[in-house]
Structure 1
Amino acid sequence: MPKGKIIKALSGFYYVKDGDKIIQCRGRGNFRNRNITPLVGDNVHYEAEKITDGRIMSIDERRNYLNRPPIANVDQAVLLFSISEPDFDDSLLDRFLVHVESYEIKPIICITKSDLMMEPISNKIQDLVETYQTIGYQVYITSSVEDEGIDWFREALEGCISVFAGQSGVGKSSLLNTLNKELNIDTNAISKSLGRGKHTTRHVELLPVGTGFVADTPGFSSLQFAKIEAQELSLYFPEMKERSSQCKFRGCTHLVEPGCAIQEAVNTGEISQSRYKHYKLFYGEINQRKRRY
């Protein structure tokens, strides 16, 4: 039975890439009864007499998958945030990082629109870049307008399935068009009245970039911690995870306990004040969620 990868899902159809062919498929009839939903990124076995009437018969075991965006077998998540228009939001970035870390997917940070970098924004951005690089994250600074950092960033995508995610209006589609001139993805200017971008991406699709694929996904403005428990939150802050065993008390929340290695690292500047502030914010959100239910 032939095998391929789902590269697009749209209106109940799944488009399976098998070598140079793309076969339009529907899911097997009993998938719904078995609560099986094929995802973009799935490696599947299919049957097809014509390239327009295929049927997916089985799905290989997934290495991982995301719910939002719905995509499987992801190698890395590229989190895109702009320097300006919309303004850089490090709280939202940390929120994305926590979610990506919880799925054990490699995160990469890409800061777009470097052509808009001016004082005093540049000082703030440089400080933030240093903070995240010190933690161990890869950080790229790019401009689709001036072609800055594009070749360097393209190398990070080679041979991988990468998910692009981040704020609306940061220029995901423009960056993809710059990475692959043949894509011609529709882009819209940021809405000045709303201060955010219009959602130009309507579905999840794997797009070719060099030897890799990129999933261009709808823009997000917030993420809820629906499946993350408060006691595990520090595991998704790498700089906290590596120090938590040094805390005096097992099960330390890193909020008020004496002998907390995390609080000590914040006081000495080894852990960023802003990252710790976001940790406390997220911890409170998770506890509020539990109280509501």
Structure 2
Amino acid sequence: MSELQGLVLKNYNGYYYVQVGEVTYTCKVKGKMKQNRFSLATGDQVLLEPGEQKGACAYEGMIKKVLPRKNFLPRPIMANLDLFVVTFACATPDFSFLLADKLLALAELAQIPSILVLNKLDQAPAGLVDEVRAVYEPLGYKVFAISAQSGTGVAALREHLKGKICAFGGPSGVGKSSTINAIDSKVDLRTGEVSEKIGRGKHTTRFAQLLPFDEGYIADTPGFGNLLLEGMEQEQAVAAFREFAQYEGGCRFCPCSHTHEPVCGVKEAVAAGQIAASRYESYLAMLEEIRLLKEKEGRK
């Protein structure tokens, strides 16, 4: 039987839903793949062997092979992205520079282009949007300030996403699903308010799912309260902050951790205001988290 190539739209209850042309196949993984360690994520391109059609709209198949990826994002787990949309609210919950920098760092290491979206613009504290733009736009990260509820700024964001395979990532309750609904009303993702007790969304996305959108695909992903950096090394944390590279020539030591060394171009750039203090603080917080995780796991 001939093989077909398709795109994994989602993984749910042990089944993979694979888009082939206009048809979606409900697939399991072939036994030979199960005998070996394999990784299969939403966004993967796969080869499948179609099964017998069991109805007008019931197509089944067996996944035989995962094709090479152009990139892979470990948290949230996605593959082959053209763009990662780091999404936060201006308030309720409040914007977090540390969480934003963690998400941008993961995308940077995966070599996935990223943008920042600030939802709930109508609730923004005075000066917040300008402050965020001042930190991130000089680094090449576009910042879109929007209101999913009123539609402010949505058209510009929609145009930027056109034709791309995109994933929205961010904490619970920031309005990722609402933003996607505003971008394309045909999507109609379930949304919910933020719990006053826990400060995050009550009704949240449970799994990543790619949905057709304007010549491309768009995905909502599960939110989180915190984002741990399991498996990240100190050297990766350094590489994840793209602005450090141009100042590392001023470091006496190589490699330099940009923390305790007596002569450090990065620390000098922070003191001079050439690197945002919030970014450097996030870097230090990430290094400490990496150290504590290693200590907990008994790694050197």
How high is the TM-score relative to the length of structure 2? Answer: 0.92
Structure 1 residue 258: deviation in Å? 2.4
Q: Deviations over 1:223-255 (max 9, x none)?
A: 222222113322111111222123122112111
- Give the direction of change, closer, same or farther, for the CA distance of 1:37–1:260 in structure 2 (3 Å limit): closer
Q: What is the SS of the residue equivalent to 1:9?
A: strand
What are the residue-to-residue correspondences of 1:1-293 with 2, within 5 Å?
Answer: 1-48=3-50, 49-50=52-53, 51-117=58-124, 121-292=125-296, 293=298
Residue 176 of structure 1 and its aligned partner are, at CA, apart by: 0.8
How far apart in 2 are the matches of 1:98 and 1:43? 25
Change (3 A) 1:37 1:283: closer
CA distance in 2, matches of 1:291, 1:36: 29
Give the superposition deviation at 1:263.
Answer: 1.1
Q: Residues 1-34 of structure 1, C-alpha deviation per residue, up to 9 Å, x if partnerless?
A: 2221111211111111111111111111222211
Secondary structure at the aligned position of 2:17 is classed as: strand
CA distance, structure 1, for counterparts of residue 235 and residue 78 of structure 2 = 27
Post-superposition offset of 1:37: 3.9
Contact 1:266 1:273 in 2 (8 A): yes
Give deviations 1:265-292, integer Å, cap 9, x for gaps: 1111111111111211211222223333
- The aligned amino acid for 2:228 is Q
- Contact 2:176 / 2:220 at 8 angstroms: preserved in 1? yes
Partner AA of 1:244 in structure 2: E
The percentage of aligned residue pairs carrying the same residue is 35
Q: Is the 8 A contact 1:83 1:113 kept in 2?
A: yes
| Distance in 2, Cα, partners of 1:245 & 1:70 | 35
| Inter-partner Cα distance in structure 1 for 2:134 and 2:88 | 16
SS in 1 for 2:231: coil
- Deviation for aligned residue 1:257: 1.8
Counterpart code for 1:114: L
Aligned-residue RMSD, C-alpha: 1.5
Q: Deviations over 1:76-122 (max 9, x none)?
A: 211101001111111111111112212121121111111212xxx22
* Gapped regions of structure 2 (runs ≥ 5): none
**Partner Cα distance (1:103, 1:261) in 2:** 25
Task: Give the counterpart letter for 2:66 in structure 1.
Answer: I
C-alpha contact 2:75 2:106 (8 A) present in aligned 1: no
Q: Provide the rounded CA distance (Å) in 2 between the counterparts of 1:207 and 1:232.
A: 32
Stretch deviating more after TM superposition (220-229 or 81-90): 220-229
Structure 1 distance, partners of 2:75, 2:266, is: 31
CA–CA distance in structure 1, aligned partners of residues 17 and 97 of structure 2: 36
Q: What is the letter of the counterpart of residue 90 of structure 1?
A: F
Aligned residues: 290
Measured after TM superposition, the shift of residue 125 of structure 1 is 2.9
Q: Quote the Cα distance in structure 2 between the aligned partners of 1:174 and 1:227.
A: 32
> Which of 33-42 and 260-269 deviates more?
33-42
- What is the letter of the counterpart of residue 7 of structure 2? K
TM-score (norm 1): 0.94
Between the aligned partners of 1:196 and 1:271, the Cα distance in structure 2 is: 31
Q: Distance between the aligned counterparts of 2:187 and 2:16, measured in 1?
A: 20
- Structure 1: gaps spanning 5 or more residues: none
Residue 199 of structure 1, CA deviation: 4.4
CA distance in 1, matches of 2:77, 2:271: 40
Q: What stretches of structure 1 move > 4 A for 4+ residues in a row?
A: none
Question: AA paired with 1:230?
Answer: Q
Greater alpha carbon shift after TM alignment, 247-256 vs 46-55: 46-55
Secondary structure at 1:30's aligned position in 2? helix
Q: 1:20 to 1:231 in 2, by over 3 A?
A: closer
Q: Deviations over 1:139-172 (max 9, x none)?
A: 1111111111111111221222111110100001
